[in-house]
Amino acid sequence: MAEKAVRNSVSLGVFLAVAAHPGVPFRVVELAGRGITATAAATRWVLEVGKSSLDGFTLADKLIDSGEKEDQLLQLWEEYGAGGVDVAAFEAWPSVPEGPVEDRSSGLRRVLGPGVDVL
Protein backbone atom coordinates (compact mmCIF):
# COMPACT_ATOMS: atom_id res chain seq x y z
CA MET A 1 0.00 0.00 0.00
CA ALA A 2 1.39 3.42 -0.95
CA GLU A 3 1.77 5.90 1.87
CA LYS A 4 -0.46 8.93 1.66
CA ALA A 5 1.13 12.34 2.22
CA VAL A 6 0.07 13.95 5.47
CA ARG A 7 -1.01 17.58 5.26
CA ASN A 8 -2.02 19.75 8.16
CA SER A 9 -3.15 22.68 6.02
CA VAL A 10 -6.18 22.75 3.78
CA SER A 11 -4.91 25.85 2.00
CA LEU A 12 -1.57 24.18 1.28
CA GLY A 13 -3.43 21.28 -0.33
CA VAL A 14 -5.50 23.65 -2.46
CA PHE A 15 -2.44 25.68 -3.52
CA LEU A 16 -0.62 22.49 -4.51
CA ALA A 17 -3.65 21.24 -6.47
CA VAL A 18 -3.97 24.58 -8.26
CA ALA A 19 -0.26 24.63 -9.13
CA ALA A 20 -0.41 21.07 -10.49
CA HIS A 21 -3.61 21.49 -12.50
CA PRO A 22 -2.97 21.45 -16.25
CA GLY A 23 -5.80 23.89 -17.03
CA VAL A 24 -4.69 26.93 -15.08
CA PRO A 25 -2.52 29.62 -16.64
CA PHE A 26 0.95 30.37 -15.34
CA ARG A 27 -0.27 33.54 -13.58
CA VAL A 28 -2.50 31.42 -11.35
CA VAL A 29 0.31 28.90 -10.76
CA GLU A 30 2.44 31.87 -9.66
CA LEU A 31 -0.30 33.00 -7.27
CA ALA A 32 -0.52 29.47 -5.85
CA GLY A 33 3.25 29.48 -5.27
CA ARG A 34 2.96 32.79 -3.47
CA GLY A 35 0.13 31.30 -1.40
CA ILE A 36 2.34 28.36 -0.40
CA THR A 37 5.04 30.80 0.71
CA ALA A 38 2.55 32.96 2.61
CA THR A 39 1.06 29.92 4.35
CA ALA A 40 4.51 28.77 5.48
CA ALA A 41 5.41 32.27 6.68
CA ALA A 42 2.13 32.60 8.60
CA THR A 43 2.62 29.23 10.29
CA ARG A 44 6.16 30.14 11.25
CA TRP A 45 5.02 33.54 12.59
CA VAL A 46 2.34 31.92 14.78
CA LEU A 47 4.82 29.45 16.24
CA GLU A 48 7.75 31.83 16.72
CA VAL A 49 6.10 35.19 17.42
CA GLY A 50 2.33 35.07 17.75
CA LYS A 51 2.06 32.51 20.52
CA SER A 52 4.53 34.35 22.73
CA SER A 53 3.66 37.97 21.96
CA LEU A 54 -0.15 38.04 21.69
CA ASP A 55 -2.78 37.30 24.26
CA GLY A 56 -4.84 34.23 23.52
CA PHE A 57 -7.91 36.11 22.36
CA THR A 58 -6.04 38.29 19.86
CA LEU A 59 -4.21 35.27 18.47
CA ALA A 60 -7.52 33.39 18.28
CA ASP A 61 -9.01 36.27 16.26
CA LYS A 62 -6.14 36.06 13.79
CA LEU A 63 -6.43 32.28 13.49
CA ILE A 64 -10.20 32.50 12.98
CA ASP A 65 -9.68 35.05 10.20
CA SER A 66 -7.08 32.78 8.61
CA GLY A 67 -9.47 29.83 8.82
CA GLU A 68 -12.21 31.83 7.13
CA LYS A 69 -9.85 32.73 4.26
CA GLU A 70 -8.91 29.05 3.99
CA ASP A 71 -12.60 28.09 3.80
CA GLN A 72 -13.13 30.68 1.03
CA LEU A 73 -10.17 29.32 -0.91
CA LEU A 74 -11.41 25.73 -0.61
CA GLN A 75 -14.89 26.75 -1.74
CA LEU A 76 -13.43 28.63 -4.71
CA TRP A 77 -11.37 25.59 -5.75
CA GLU A 78 -14.39 23.28 -5.44
CA GLU A 79 -16.50 25.69 -7.54
CA TYR A 80 -13.71 25.79 -10.14
CA GLY A 81 -13.65 21.99 -10.27
CA ALA A 82 -17.42 21.91 -10.75
CA GLY A 83 -17.20 24.48 -13.55
CA GLY A 84 -18.93 27.17 -11.51
CA VAL A 85 -16.13 29.75 -11.71
CA ASP A 86 -13.31 30.43 -14.11
CA VAL A 87 -9.61 31.05 -13.57
CA ALA A 88 -10.20 34.81 -13.26
CA ALA A 89 -11.87 34.16 -9.88
CA PHE A 90 -8.49 33.07 -8.48
CA GLU A 91 -6.86 36.25 -9.72
CA ALA A 92 -9.63 38.30 -8.08
CA TRP A 93 -9.60 36.38 -4.79
CA PRO A 94 -8.40 38.78 -2.08
CA SER A 95 -4.88 38.12 -0.89
CA VAL A 96 -5.04 40.73 1.86
CA PRO A 97 -7.91 41.78 4.11
CA GLU A 98 -10.03 44.48 2.51
CA GLY A 99 -10.79 46.13 5.84
CA PRO A 100 -10.04 45.87 9.51
CA VAL A 101 -10.12 42.39 11.00
CA GLU A 102 -13.28 41.92 13.01
CA ASP A 103 -12.76 41.39 16.73
CA ARG A 104 -14.38 38.07 17.61
CA SER A 105 -13.01 37.82 21.13
CA SER A 106 -16.10 39.49 22.59
CA GLY A 107 -18.07 36.35 21.72
CA LEU A 108 -15.64 34.12 23.61
CA ARG A 109 -16.23 33.43 27.27
CA ARG A 110 -13.23 33.79 29.52
CA VAL A 111 -12.96 31.06 32.10
CA LEU A 112 -11.38 32.34 35.28
CA GLY A 113 -9.30 30.07 37.42
CA PRO A 114 -9.28 29.91 41.21
CA GLY A 115 -7.79 32.91 42.97
CA VAL A 116 -8.49 35.37 40.12
CA ASP A 117 -9.90 38.73 41.17
CA VAL A 118 -12.90 39.89 39.17
CA LEU A 119 -13.34 43.67 38.85
pLDDT tens-digit profile of 13-22?
A: 888 888 898 8
Mean pLDDT of 9-30: 86
C-alpha pair distances (Å), 7 with each of 58, 84, 94, 105? 26, 26, 24, 28
Q: Which of 64, 60, 70 is nearest to 7 (CA)?
A: 70
Judged on CB neighbours under 10 Å (0-12, 13-18, 19+), 56 is exposed
pLDDT at 76: 86
C-alpha pair distances (Å), 96 with each of 1, 20, 81, 88? 41, 24, 24, 17
pLDDT at 3: 54
The mean pLDDT of the chain is 74
Q: Above 50 in pLDDT, residue 46?
A: yes
Mean pLDDT of 66-88: 84
- Going by the DSSP 8-state scheme, the letter that residue 50 receives in this structure is I
Share of the chain above pLDDT 90, in %: 1
pTM above 0.75, yes or no: no
Q: How confident is the model at residue 114 (pLDDT cuts 50, 70, 90)?
A: very low
